[in-house]
Amino acid sequence: MDNLLLMIAPLFSSKLLLVLFFGTLFGLILGVLPGLGPTTGGALILPFTMTLDPLSAIVLLTSIYCAGTYGGAITAVLINTPGTPAAAATCLDGYPLAQKGEAGRALGMATVSSTVGGIFSVIILVFFAPILAQLAYEFGQPEYFALAIFGLTMLASIGEGSPIKNLIAGAFGILISTVGKDFMTSIDRFTFGINELTEGIGFIPVVVGLFAMSEMLTQSTLINQVFNRIALKAIKLPSKDDYKKTWKTILRSSGIGSFIGVLPAEGGTVASLIGYSEAKRFSKKPEEFGKGSIEGIAGAEAANNAATGGAMVPTLALGIPGSATTAVILTGLIIHGVRPGPDLFREQPDFLYGIFGAMLIANVLFFIFGFFGAKIFARITLVPNKILWPMIFAVSVCGTYSLNQSIIDVWIMLFFGVLGFFMRRYGFSVVPVIIGLILGELVEGTLRQSLVIFDGNWFMFFTRPIALTFFILSLIALAFPLIRAKKIKK
Amino acid sequence: MKNVQKQKRANKSLPFFFRDEFKVSFVIIFISVALLITTFTFDIVPPILNRGIQPATFPKALLVLIIVMTLLIYYFATKNPWKVQKKLPKSFFLTLLSFFIFVVISKTLDFFLAISALSIFVSYYWGEKRIFYLLLVGIIFPVIVFVFFETILGLRFPPGIITNIYYS
């Protein structure tokens, strides 16, 4: 009961309501714009959150996350380009349905299923995160080390792209975290005599560079791209018949999305693809998929929004990000001095349940905004890239500079922008770099502290049941892509 | 799908050192080896202060791991070549050049001027020829951003031609 009261607390705070309002609005705009999305948008907004208290800052980021994930569907339906990667599966049926003159119906279904998926996942988050956090009380340094390794190997298993490339990117992210003074012995590593590097490489220049600047370079290769836009008259609520056809799909995809979200990987993107394929598998009319199936839209959208709450579970309970955007949210928590984990549940329940409540409200808000404002948001895609991206550059540069008032940070951001562009060009996802960077200190710190506890005996890791379980799960995660590849070959 | 196969076949017909998989693997391994050599210059902690492992051990292990995995992706690529990437357009190189110009101007002249110059340069080369919009992205918007950061966030920008006039 107390927790429920804490959850609805944001409703009674005018400041939090205002933050939620702007976060949802901003998230929708970001979701609608192809190439931006909640991850890049969250990265751009991170420096600005420094002016807010920790709860407002995280509420802002999570509302951007929820609304941005839904916003991608508007562009997917109307211009056949996913506003966010998580909306890629929505294009498959959303656009064909819009071409048949039923854009309003397609967006109506996307809005309803996204809201249901989002709310479902918040409920999962409320019940599941404290249980996971309770379990984490059993964790010592070796268990945390094994858990972080498991988180990284999951990237190889269910993240997008080549598993080995994902692992290389993750290892590179961890390597970046070693730059600067060694936290245990204060010895300089990879500083090359540059004073500014002794404090290490900050999260924000890397995050903004890898997401925003690399996207700017990607957009520079697409300036002649023309979108075929479909006019939207008005969003329609799904009919009774539509509900009859899709309610099972929405619930199933909400479950799938929440589960995939909990696993430390690329969250919504993978969830929507699995949600879509499962919707097809269970459908009575699978032949309609790809030609404008309402079930296809429901399956993809419920799953990608359900992944938002799911991905917050390991982020808040263990400090292991469940998706790219939660990696940005985790960065926000860290720079605001909030340490995720079981202690957070015990010491700051008002903070946590405030976030849960805010996510719930954000799901309701984007339903209202989406339903009444989709026509306006669709027009945002008319802003040409030649105007939009120079503006994003100005915000990125000032935002990155503002954190430490260091010009070196801006150059680091540009360096990672160029690096991120080439990584993506050659099939290396940038998400593992961020996750590696965030987990780097945890991986190295827990490894070294464990070795101190074990007196340098590496085999002692395998005498701890929880750590051993995570190592076995890591091996399974590494073997999974090989098994999958063999199955596909057959 | 056919297109991807075609691109893969086109890649296979190239000499190995022109293939993307070779170039990418070579760059990663080259940088990793250079960094690996650097780790041997890290200070060694006396046994009394050493907690678990030496500070260089962890980065060394990571770099070896990266090298091994890169060799693996190259090995797999010899069996299943990557598809040939489209040539990068002129607009990409101009945007990249604008980053470089930004660094030079922000270092020598003015941070704010560098943002304006990049914004106008990028917008123009991406196809915007209307003066009003160039002014919007190059001057009006950066001024709004500058004022926002300066007044609301209390940020002090680095000294330069324009910022010095503003601060004086």
- pLDDT at residue number A416: 93
As for how many domains chain B has, the answer is 2
Same domain flag for B98 and B49: no
Same domain flag for B114 and B55: no
- A266 at B interface, C-beta within 8 A: no
List the 405-434 stretch of A: residues with Cβ below 8 A of B. Answer: 405, 407, 410-411, 414, 417-418, 425-427
Same domain flag for B53 and B96: no
Q: Give A427's contacts (C-beta < 8 A, 6+ positions apart).
A: A161, A162, A165, B82
What gap in Å lies between CA A389 and CA A411, rounded to an integer?
18
What gap in Å lies between CA A24 and CA A14, rounded to an integer?
15
- pLDDT at residue number A36: 72
In a domain, B85, yes or no: no
Same domain flag for B141 and B112: yes
Of B41, B58, B79, the residue at which a domain comes to its end is B79
In a domain, B122, yes or no: yes
Task: Please judge whether A452 and B49 are an interchain contact, meaning their C-beta atoms are less than 8 angstroms apart.
Answer: no
List the 192-211 stretch of A: residues with Cβ below 8 A of B. Answer: 192
Residues of chain B with pLDDT under 50: none
Closest by Cα among A203, A169, A182 to A409: A203
Q: Which of B73, B88, B102, B113 is the mutation pick for testing A, counting most A CBs within 10 A?
A: B73
Per-position pLDDT tens, chain A of length 490: 566 666 677 667 788 889 999 999 888 888 877 667 788 888 888 888 888 888 899 999 999 999 988 888 888 888 776 777 778 788 888 888 888 877 888 888 899 999 999 999 988 888 888 887 777 777 788 888 888 888 888 776 655 668 888 889 989 999 999 998 887 788 889 888 888 888 888 888 888 888 888 888 988 888 776 666 666 666 677 788 888 888 889 999 999 888 888 876 667 777 888 888 888 888 888 888 888 888 889 998 999 899 888 888 888 888 888 778 888 898 888 888 888 877 788 788 888 888 888 889 999 998 888 888 777 777 776 778 888 888 888 888 888 887 778 888 889 999 999 999 999 888 888 888 888 888 888 888 888 888 888 777 777 778 888 888 888 888 887 887 777 666 666 6
Same domain flag for B53 and B97: no
Of B79, B100, B132, the residue at which a domain comes to its end is B79
Same domain flag for B149 and B111: yes
Q: Is this complex scored with an ipTM above 0.90?
A: no
What gap in Å lies between CA B131 and CA A232, rounded to an integer?
32
Q: Give B78's contacts (C-beta < 8 A, 6+ positions apart).
A: B21
- B70 at A interface, C-beta within 8 A: yes
Same domain flag for B66 and B95: no
Provide, as residue numbers in chain B, all residues whose Cβ is less than 8 Å from the Cβ of A156: none
Provide, as residue numbers in chain A, all residues whose Cβ is less than 8 Å from the Cβ of B149: 398, 402
- pLDDT at residue number B68: 94
Note whether B55 and A187 are within 8 A (CB): yes
Of B52, B79, B106, the residue at which a domain comes to its end is B79
Tell me the residue range of the domain where B68 lies.
2-79
- pLDDT at residue number A98: 83
Same domain flag for B72 and B103: no
In a domain, B96, yes or no: yes
- pLDDT at residue number B30: 95
